[in-house]
Amino acid sequence: MLEWPVSKRPDVDDELVDRVRQGDLDAFNQIVAAYQDRIYNLCLRMLGSPQAAEDAAQDTFMSAYRNAGKLRGANVRSWLFRIASNTCIDEVRKRQRRPLVSLDRPSSDDDARPVEVPDEDPGPEKRTLQSELHDAVQEALLDLPGDQRLAVTLCDLEGFQYEEIADAMGISVGTVKSRISRGRARLREAIRGRPELFEHYLRPIDEGGRA
Amino acid sequence: MLFWRNRHEVGDEELNAFVDGELEESGRRRVERHLESCAPCSEAVAGLRAVSRAMSELPAVRAPRSFALREADVTPAPASAGTGLFGSVQPLLSGVAAIAIIAFVVLAGFDIGADSSQGDDSDAASIAGDAESLQLSDARRSEVGDGDAAPSVDDGVPAQDAGALGDDENVVGYESNFTSNDDEDEPAARGGAAPPEENTEDPQTRESGQAHAGDSIAPALADDGDGMGLRVAESVAAAVAIAAGGSVLLIRWRRRATAG
């Protein structure tokens, strides 16, 4: 799952939550600063386009502020990801209703393109391979139905437990299991279809559950 | 492939839960024991871990800008009635819908009153817009045919006189303009849809009820001939009410969806 050097776990306490609930913009912006990288990344993986991700992230925070009165307890992360999940799923459905024709790749999303991300420089050859790997994974991810995409992304990128995914998506844990299973099955087929890129992912790793 | 293992003792969802560390201790041990002797499941687990790893190794991307909200972002828009073309026409549409509804109720009330007074008690006829009367009137229309329900007017006869014309003969003549094969059946059909006491009602009472209900509105409509004016006005009012009201609801729904 993702490591977040740029966005440390925020120090969200009850007092800050109380202020947010009362509409304190400064308090709310502390939460924005703490979570904006993670929210943006979720949107980016879900939508595939930096511009769409930016819009979705902004919409998420706008919606969160408008609904700050509904924030209960101090579980800000769960609350924010629930809003972000809804925003992303709405956007995915909107795109499915009015898809644009892509000449480069047939996809359920319109302007979704593999995301170009500056990695730490590992050298030209490795950089090319890594970039291809990431593009291929992102493409396969974007070909999943939105609900499966979201479940897998929350699980593998954000490291959410099934219970948390169920909470964020407003579904049962049983449905989470089903969506992750179906989503991963499709991603796995994509991996098998490009063994030259995914060889190192297919190497056996330690058994006994998630690291 | 995962698909052929559907009837396997360990299912795909369980293997995913195993990979994700979501199984209880006993379940985890059971899967581990199974994997020791089942090569396809071991291969499947390796594939699932590869997928999970491929996903988790996607690089974290820093947000391209701050998403902090400004005061201007969260200050409510001053125009509470809405923005844009739809927002500006909404009050007008609301007014049109309200007027159309009132017009429909008044017209329908007059229609019912006039209709009831033809062969009904005068009290019911005088209550414009009464829901029970409306149902009664609708029932009659469906039984007799679409043409009968404006009996307060006859060909070219002002409605002030309609009370005096409220006997069966004139009604039959009126009916014949619309339902060509109902000339003789009409009184029976009307009686069949009305309360039992209707046929025994004193004609004088009927006349007074008719005159009462038709006093104000009928003159304006009687000149249209055959009561069609009343019917058309009712239909137009209903259509306008539905169209304007529907538009208002649609605008509000769209605004709420946008805001939400």
ipTM of the complex in this document: 0.80
Q: Residue B19 is nearest to which of A5, A191, A210, comparing CB atoms?
A: A210
Residue B144 pLDDT greater than 50, yes or no: no
Q: Residue B21 is nearest to which of A65, A191, A210, comparing CB atoms?
A: A210
Domain-located, residue A168? yes
* Distance (Å, whole) CA B15 – CA A206: 15
Domain-located, residue A5? no
Q: How many domains does chain B have?
A: 2
The answer to whether residues B110 and B41 belong to one domain is no
Query: In this complex, do A201 and B53 lie within 8 Å of one another by their Cβ atoms?
Result: yes
What would the mean pLDDT of B71-94 be, rounded to a whole number? 66
CATH number at residue A193: 1.10.1740.10
**Nearest 5 degrees, angle CA A193-CA A195-CA A199?**
145
The answer to whether residues B32 and B131 belong to one domain is no
The answer to whether residues B141 and B21 belong to one domain is no
The answer to whether residues B45 and B147 belong to one domain is no
Quick one: DSSP state of residue B199?
G
The answer to whether residues B11 and B49 belong to one domain is yes
The answer to whether residues B247 and B120 belong to one domain is yes
Domain-located, residue B61? no
Three-state DSSP at A170 gives coil
* Enclosing domain of residue A109: 14-202
* Distance (Å, whole) CA A136 – CA A130: 10
pLDDT on residue B248: 81
Reported as a single tens digit per residue, the pLDDT across A117-173 is 555 556 666 667 778 888 889 999 999 999 999 999 999 999 999 999 999 999 999
Which tokens in the block code for residue B51?
């997928």
Q: Could you tell me the sign of the dihedral formed by the alpha carbons of B67, B70, B74, B80, in that order?
A: negative
Best mutation target, A28, A201, A205, to test chain B (most B CBs within 10 A): A201
Q: CB under 8 Å to A149, separation ≥6 — which residues?
A: A45, A46, A92, A141, A142, A183
Helical pair A14-21 and A25-47, crossing angle rounded to 10 deg: 90
Least-confidence region, from A65-69, A119-123, B49-53, B254-258? A119-123
Q: Residue B71 is nearest to which of A25, A133, A153, comparing CB atoms?
A: A25
Domain-located, residue B75? no
* Enclosing domain of residue B148: 85-259
Instruction: Classify residue B34 as exposed, middle or buried by CB count within 10 Å of its CB (0-12, 13-18, 19+).
Output: middle
Q: List CB contacts (< 8 A) between A117 and chain B.
A: 59, 61
The answer to whether residues B21 and B108 belong to one domain is no
Verdict on whether the full-model pTM lies above 0.80: no
The answer to whether residues B51 and B111 belong to one domain is no
Q: How many domains does chain A have?
A: 1
Q: Residue A202 is nearest to which of B3, B50, B63, comparing CB atoms?
A: B50
Domain-located, residue B67? no
Compute the nearest-CA separation of A211 from chain B (Å).
Answer: 8
Residue B73 pLDDT greater than 60, yes or no: yes
What would the mean pLDDT of A178-184 be, rounded to a whole number? 97
Q: Count CB pairs under 8 A between chains A and B.
A: 148
Compute the nearest-CA separation of A73 from chain B (Å).
Answer: 22
* Distance (Å, whole) CA B150 – CA A123: 91
**Nearest 5 degrees, angle CA B53-CA A135-CA A58?**
90
* Domain edge (last residue) among B14, B36, B56: B56
CA B198 to chain centre: 34
The answer to whether residues B119 and B163 belong to one domain is yes
pLDDT on residue B159: 41
Domain-located, residue A9? no
